[in-house]
Amino acid sequence: MNNNKYKVLVLSDFKKTTYSTLKSGVSLAKMIDAEIELFHVKKHIDIVESDNQLSALRVLNEEHNNTEKKIKTLINSVSKEYNITIKGNYSFGNVKEEIRDYLKENTPDIIVIGQRESSPIQLIGDGITRFVLKEFKGIIMISANENALEPNKKMTLGVLNDSNNIYNNKLSKDLLAYANAPLRSFKVIDDQNESTQIPNADEKKTIEYVFEQTADVMTTISSYLLKHNINLLYIDRVENNKKGTNDTSLKEVINKLNVSLLLSEAS
């Protein structure tokens, strides 16, 4: 095994979008030649309802068997379809604690989570998205339910607010190799006099779209993303924080942009 490979972890709640989320994770893993694993957590309270100990143990054992079969069926199907090895694992207990422990033990480089149709900011249950954003400082991909990444196919890549470090690290360069040219940059400015020029934009073959800061700017950007068939939008968490992009605005981005998001390392 090549221990220098990136490790991609797909967190799943096994709702109807799980297949699409795993497929996006596979697409990302194949682009950067990474190992990929699916991890599912289920709360004990959702499994055991009886106070009878023997009955509870029987239900728990059945759930273990059913969960293991469900994970194997899914990953075997996707693995065969896209010719990639996918590991599968699961745990029962407190969702946040189980995820925290799993991250410490397995140290993934990238986490992939899916977008809920009803409320994108709640991806795997109440507060789990915020928890992952706070707990995990590495790269996070939020997979959209529509226009998701397709394994073995080129994607259309965009960047939000001059995420120029996309040119400066190995992972980003690997992604750019799988992206259709030109790269498209979407920038929000507060001041009309603010510079809108991207360094070396011509050399990087980048097209820039500039938007004034308004209450509905994210809705406007969302329509542009759909119009240009953007599959993945790269956001530099560090750079955006320097420019005043806080947790609230990041929530707005996640809620209003119906496109897969790739959030850079937080530090």
- Other CB atoms closer than 10 Å to residue 32's CB: what's the count? 19
d(CA 252, CA 257): 8
Coil, helix or strand at residue 37: strand
Question: Hey, what amino acid is at 209?
Answer: Y
Q: Which of 183, 233, 229 is nearest to 204 (CA)?
A: 183
* Residue 87 reports pLDDT greater than 70: yes
The confidence score (pLDDT) of residue 121 equals: 45
Q: Where are the beta strands (DSSP E) in 43-195?
A: 86-92, 110-114, 139-143, 157-160, 183-189
The mean of the pLDDT values for the chain is 82
d(CA 129, CA 125): 8
d(CA 74, CA 25): 13
Q: What is the pLDDT of residues 134-185, one digit of tens each?
A: 899 999 999 988 778 889 999 999 999 866 667 777 787 788 888 888 889 9
d(CA 204, CA 59): 57
The confidence score (pLDDT) of residue 253 equals: 84
The confidence score (pLDDT) of residue 246 equals: 47
* Residue 266 reports pLDDT greater than 50: yes
Does the pTM surpass 0.95? The reply is no
The confidence score (pLDDT) of residue 241 equals: 56
Mean pLDDT to the nearest integer, 97-110:
95
Bridge partners, 7 (sequence order): 35
Q: What is the pLDDT of residues 192-250, one digit of tens each?
A: 555 455 444 444 578 899 999 888 898 999 999 999 999 999 988 876 655 544 454 77
Coil, helix or strand at residue 110: strand
The confidence score (pLDDT) of residue 264 equals: 87
How many Cα atoms occupy the beta-carbon half-sphere of 94 within 13 Å?
Answer: 6
Sign of CA dihedral 106, 108, 114, 120: positive
d(CA 102, CA 44): 17
Confidence of residue 52 (pLDDT cuts 50, 70, 90): low
Residues 149, 260 contacting (CB under 8 angstroms)? yes
Q: Where do the domains of the chain lie, and which CATH numbers do they carry?
A: 1-152 (3.40.50.620), 154-259 (3.40.50)
The token pair that represents 81 in the structure block: 């379809």
Lowest pLDDT segment from 46-55, 101-110, 173-182, 219-228: 46-55
The confidence score (pLDDT) of residue 205 equals: 76
Q: Where are the beta strands (DSSP E) in the chain?
A: 7-12, 35-42, 86-92, 110-114, 139-143, 157-160, 183-189, 206-212, 232-235, 260-263
- Other CB atoms closer than 10 Å to residue 201's CB: what's the count? 17
